[in-house]
Chain A
Amino acid sequence: MDMERSNSQPSGFDSTRQDLLKLTAATGGALATSTCLPHAATAQDASTAEPRGVNPAPAPINLVLRVNGAEHPLTLDPRTTLLDALREHLQLTGSKKGCGLGQCGACTVLMDGKRVKSCLALAALVDGREITTIEGLAQGERLHPLQAAFIERDAFQCGYCTSGQIMAGVACIAEGHAGSAQEIRDWMSGNLCRCGAYDHIVAAIQDAAPTIRRG
């Protein structure tokens, strides 16, 4: 994926991004809309899906999300999680929704430099915090060293958990918890990989750690 273009969202979609959106929509992806931002939450939000007519929609709430260095004023249903705000409202679909309950780690992002599960945070309560997603890791065309290491080590099969694994791995290294394979396994335990690529993920983190620690 073209990291630089993704990072330049959401002011305008370039052709690559639009093609991806079309492809995602065509293949049954979760993106239901590509309307301009900001917009109010709708019943299309996966997180807020309820039988129609049962409950009135709650009053929307105004907030500013700071993501990958850019500020995004949004008006959202208060039930919107940070993950759904990123994916459904900012079209930053690198962060994945696995369980939606904090168990799988596919939604891992950095908040004020610390790794968090974006599915467990309400967007309105992280107003003003600095969020970094997988789209914000690369420097232009140059991949982050851990992204490169994941490719080099073949540290994924289906790739669904990968962005969460990489974000958690970046934090794991920054925290100083990548000293040994055992330590990495312990401190990466919040990220599940159903393909079972764990050995390769650990190897990628071990490879990248010295480069990243040197800065």
Chain B
Amino acid sequence: MHPFILERPRDLSAALALRAQSGRNDAPAEYIAGGTDMVQLLQEYVRRPERLVSLAGLLDNRIEVGTQGLRLGTAATMAEVAAYPAVIEQFPVIAEALLNSASPQVRNQATVGGNLLQRTRCPYFRDVGYAACNKRAPGSGCAAIGGENRWHAVLGTSENCIATNASDLAVALVALDAAVEVRGASGKRTVPLIDFYRLPDATPHIETVLEAGEVLTAITVPVSPAARRSHYLKVRDRASFEFAVVSAAVALEMDGARIHHARIALGGVGTKPWRVPQVEAALAGATLDPAPLRSAAALAAQGAQGHGHNDFKIELMQRAIVRAVEIAGARA
């Protein structure tokens, strides 16, 4: 690790003040909460902050389910949220996405806020031995385009970056129209999670709309009939403890045997959690028979672009949608 000064502020205001002195991203000062991603990045010299500001004990970790919906303090751990009975009952896609993430040890350490802010698993980003990575070193190029790109994105890419967002939780939350509460030195604001993440375009190193020093304080999920009938399907190279090759978060509101309203988000295929409104629209009024599901899912391929090794994801994500809709639809 590069040497850093470790700050352990007494309260959130002090933390915000320390961090606000620095820039927007990959700044001289960084926050650390659960640390499970940050310590990896520090160990690998991917991040070299001069100052690390600990959020331990400064953020809300409560899990609340009420008439408005679900509210997660961002310091709640992945394990705590996944095991919370009302989350399992009313928002199964969230519990499933979490239980299919990382390992039991990491889920005990990692916060849900940190999960949403974890950096990509692109091996070129994570290995400083490669000079070219626009996320790590803006303007240096992209080693994944034309390199080993089996794990990379087919949606939302740019000529500068094809890295995927690695969070399973974010995919489930985007499907349920979740929002995040953001706090900075100048106040609070709320951002829909789907707008929280930025496309890489020409600035892949800026991954979210967080301004300098802002911190995630809560995640809110509106209550909905669809949330109860939801499922997270994760396709990966081994059965456990692996990132998604492709994933699909599906929430269905049924009208008898037909789909009234579907919400679908994809993981492993986009540079950010990827909602597919065209597929959702095509599923409105459809039965759960294979033919209508397949024709609706085919629309997910609109705009998709493979880069060679990851071409298979375009077909696989359609099949994942069909399977996830079938499973969610079969739920009582």
Chain A: residues with CB nearer than 8 A to chain B?
47-48, 50, 55-59, 61, 78-79, 81, 100-102, 105, 108, 111, 114-117, 119-122, 124-125, 168, 171-172, 175, 177, 185-187, 189-191
Contacts and interface: CB of A to CB of B under 8 A. Distances in A.
A105 B6 CA distance: 26
A115 B105 contact: yes
Interface string B87-118: 00000000000000011111011000000000
Contacts of B105: 102, 105, 108, 115-117, 168, 190
Contacts of B42: 79
Contact of B106 (A55, A100, A120, A125): A120
8 contacts: A50-B2, A78-B52, A117-B36, A120-B106, A122-B35, A168-B105, A189-B104, A190-B104
Nearest to A127: B8
Given A105-B103, A168-B104, A187-B104, A122 B6 contact: yes
A102 B106 contact: yes
Contacts of A78: 4-6, 52
B35 A186 contact: no
A180 B133 CA distance: 44
Contacts of B106: 102, 117, 120, 190
B5 A120 contact: no
A120 B43 CA distance: 9
Contacts of B35: 120-122, 125
Contacts of B40: 101-102, 120
A32 B279 CA distance: 60
A171 B109 CA distance: 14
Nearest to A185: B240
A57 B3 contact: yes
A81 B102 CA distance: 20
Given A102-B40, A121-B35, A55 B2 contact: yes
B126 to A, nearest CB: 9
B79 interface: yes
Contacts of B332: none
Nearest to B51: A58
B56 interface: yes
Given A56-B3, A58-B4, A125-B54, A81 B39 contact: yes
A116 B79 CA distance: 11
Given A121-B109, A190-B106, 20 more contacts: A50-B3, A58-B5, A78-B52, A79-B3, A79-B4, A79-B42, A102-B40, A114-B108, A115-B105, A117-B36, A117-B105, A120-B40, A122-B6, A124-B6, A125-B35, A185-B240, A189-B104, A189-B240, A190-B104, A190-B105
Interface in B161-220: none
A61 B44 CA distance: 22
Nearest to A57: B3
> Which 8 residue pairs across A and B have the least CB separation, nearest first?
A190-B103, A78-B6, A189-B240, A189-B241, A58-B3, A79-B1, A114-B108, A117-B105
B103 A189 contact: yes
B109 A120 contact: yes
B72 to A, nearest CB: 19
A75 to B, nearest CB: 13
